[in-house]
């Protein structure tokens, strides 16, 4: 009995690792290498970067550029605009994140304003990948927070979406 349980657990872990590895192979439709831009009426120069794509955990009805992230180093923040569908209507959510780190390797920005979770966006400048991680804040008495689980999604582009559609068609045959 323990052998079956162990084997089932191993297969589950291998399957989850495979799904995560596939998501980690995703690359945004647009990935802007950091460059200097001039902002505002005062013409302030700052390092800037952007990425657009579709999060790996987004629904099938989301387009390949349904999310966009822009970051401004001197101002210390990023904004993320993310489309979603609710009740047959299109909506957009805009979030501001504080930059914690920006060097030649990576950019890390967080939003800890939600009651139950901390959201982190990470740009990896070497692999040209962008990920978002949602983590529970920990102990809270808020009943809405009990179901918050840690998740990570990757920003993909058209090639990733076409790969997903090909796999879906293959499974249907």
Per-residue pLDDT of 98-111, as tens digits, reads 999 999 999 999 99
Cα Rg of the chain, angstroms: 19
Query: In terms of pLDDT, which residue wins out, 108 or 86?
Result: 108
Question: Is the confidence at residue 5, as pLDDT, over 60?
Answer: no
Which DSSP state fits 42? T
Nearby residues of 67 by Cβ (< 8 Å), 6 or more positions away: 52, 53, 54, 55, 58, 80, 81, 82, 83, 155
Q: What is the pTM of this model?
A: 0.80
Question: Is the confidence at residue 51, as pLDDT, over 90?
Answer: yes
Task: Give the model's pLDDT for residue 61.
Answer: 87
For the record, the structure tokens of 97 come out as: 């994140």
Average pLDDT, stretch 47-74?
95
Q: How far apart are CA 24 and CA 154, in angstroms?
A: 6
Which DSSP state fits 103? S
Q: Which helix (H) or strand (E) holds 8?
A: helix 2-24
92-111 burial: b if 16+ Cβ within 10 Å, else e? eeebebebeebeeeebbbbb
């Amino acid at each position: 009995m323990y052998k079956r349980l162990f084997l089932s657990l191993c297969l589950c872990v291998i399957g989850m690792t495979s799904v995560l590895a596939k998501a980690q192979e995703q690359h945004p439709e647009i990935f802007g290498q950091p460059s200097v831009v001039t902002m505002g009426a005062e013409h302030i120069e700052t390092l800037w970067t952007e990425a657009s794509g579709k999060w790996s955990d987004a629904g099938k009805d989301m387009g390949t550029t349904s999310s966009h992230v822009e970051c401004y180093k001197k101002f210390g923040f990023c904004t993320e605009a993310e489309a979603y569908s609710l009740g047959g209507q299109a909506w957009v959510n805009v979030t501001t994140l504080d930059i914690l780190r920006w060097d030649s390797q990576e950019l890390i920005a967080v939003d800890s304003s939600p009651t139950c979770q901390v959201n982190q966006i990470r740009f990896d400048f070497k692999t040209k990948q962008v990920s978002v991680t949602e983590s529970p804040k920990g102990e809270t008495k808020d009943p809405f927070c009990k179901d918050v689980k840690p998740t990570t999604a990757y920003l993909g582009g058209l090639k990733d979406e076409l790969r997903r559609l090909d796999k879906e068609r293959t499974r249907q045959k």
